[in-house]
């Protein structure tokens, strides 16, 4: 029997790390999936690096994981569980190394700008171009770079290397940075003329987001202090975003070109 072609439009969510899309816009992932879109979540920095040392090793030790643990394998398993929770059709792990494996030696360096000699954006651009060529997505979701993490900034640089993509890109607010630093601005390299677009989350979509975020068990204690705090924190942020925009419901907000108004406004 012939396979029935999948004619749904594709939404590609690009996540620098294995949790950024979940924390930032996981409700929209669920909303678009229920709204008839084919949803793909692609995470850029997912490589396992054997025998980590220095700051890279510290990043797993401070989460209670010993030096012999394949930290990124654990995180990929968590990401797979998130994908199931929100109904993602496909997950892609692009297999590039995180900043601590590229010469960033402290947390302060991660947020002090892209270091000289870090050219990973070229590899990110190549990987994304290949993926986008295969998927032909109608919408591409990329982090705004709020907080200034070097990995987030390198993904933005990679996307901007392909000017033809920007008309399809909507930029999501990076959490938890947007909540921790409410005055932080998006990356200054983002295109001009963007407008803010809210996506109102139905109860099922917010629930799917929180259940999906709960899958990242290596990250939740470090980022939020535990699962109950995570659920309360992310739900409260979404509600506050709605209040900021005069919407009596939880929302996730995006920056997008003014004519890119095809996303769902609500999924009840």
Helix (H) and strand (E) counts in the chain: 10, 7
pLDDT score recorded for residue 130: 95
pLDDT score recorded for residue 2: 58
Q: Nearest CA to 253 among 160, 173, 133?
A: 173
Over residues 76-122, the pLDDT tens digits come to 999 999 999 999 999 999 999 999 999 999 999 999 999 999 999 99
Q: What are the DSSP E strand ranges found in the chain?
A: 10-15, 38-45, 90-96, 139-143, 169-172, 194-200, 251-257
Instruction: Check whether the bond before 61 is cis (ω within 30° of 0).
Output: no
Q: Which CATH architecture has domain 10-257?
A: 3-Layer(aba) Sandwich (3.40)
Contact 21, 30 (CB under 8 A): no
Q: What span, in angstroms and rounded, lies between the C-alpha atoms of 239 and 200?
A: 10
Q: How many CB atoms lie within 10 A of CB 107?
A: 14
Over residues 174-189, the pLDDT tens digits come to 999 999 998 999 999 9
Q: What span, in angstroms and rounded, lies between the C-alpha atoms of 145 and 120?
A: 16
Give me the mean pLDDT over the 128-137 stretch.
95
Q: Nearest CA to 14 among 117, 114, 160, 147?
A: 160
pLDDT score recorded for residue 263: 52
102: its two tokens: 């590229």
Over residues 148-176, the pLDDT tens digits come to 999 999 999 999 998 777 778 999 999 99
């Amino acid at each position: 029997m012939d396979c029935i072609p999948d004619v749904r439009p594709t939404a590609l969510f690009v996540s620098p790390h294995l949790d950024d899309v979940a924390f930032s816009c996981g409700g929209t992932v669920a909303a678009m999936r229920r709204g008839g879109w084919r949803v793909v979540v692609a995470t850029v920095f997912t490589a396992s690096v054997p025998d980590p040392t220095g700051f890279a090793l510290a990043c797993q030790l401070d989460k209670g994981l010993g030096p012999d643990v394949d930290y990124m394998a654990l995180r990929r398993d968590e990401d797979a569980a998130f994908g199931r929770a929100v109904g993602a059709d496909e997950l892609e792990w692009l297999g590039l190394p995180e900043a601590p494996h590229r010469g960033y030696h402290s947390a302060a360096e991660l947020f002090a700008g892209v270091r000289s000699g870090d050219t990973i954006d070229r590899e990110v651009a190549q990987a994304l171009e290949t993926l986008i060529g295969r998927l032909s997505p109608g919408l591409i979701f990329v982090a705004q770079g709020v907080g200034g993490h070097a990995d987030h900034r390198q993904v933005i640089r990679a996307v901007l290397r392909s000017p033809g993509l920007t008309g399809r890109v909507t930029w999501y607010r990076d959490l938890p940075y947007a909540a921790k630093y409410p005055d932080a601005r998006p990356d200054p390299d983002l295109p001009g003329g963007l407008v803010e677009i809210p996506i109102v989350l139905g109860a099922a979509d917010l629930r799917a987001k929180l259940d999906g975020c709960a899958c990242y068990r290596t990250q939740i204690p470090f980022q939020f202090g535990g699962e109950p705090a995570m659920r309360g924190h992310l739900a409260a942020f979404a509600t506050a975003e709605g209040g900021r925009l005069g919407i009596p419901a939880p929302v996730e907000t995006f920056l997008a070109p003014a004519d890119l108004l095809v996303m769902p406004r609500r999924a009840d």
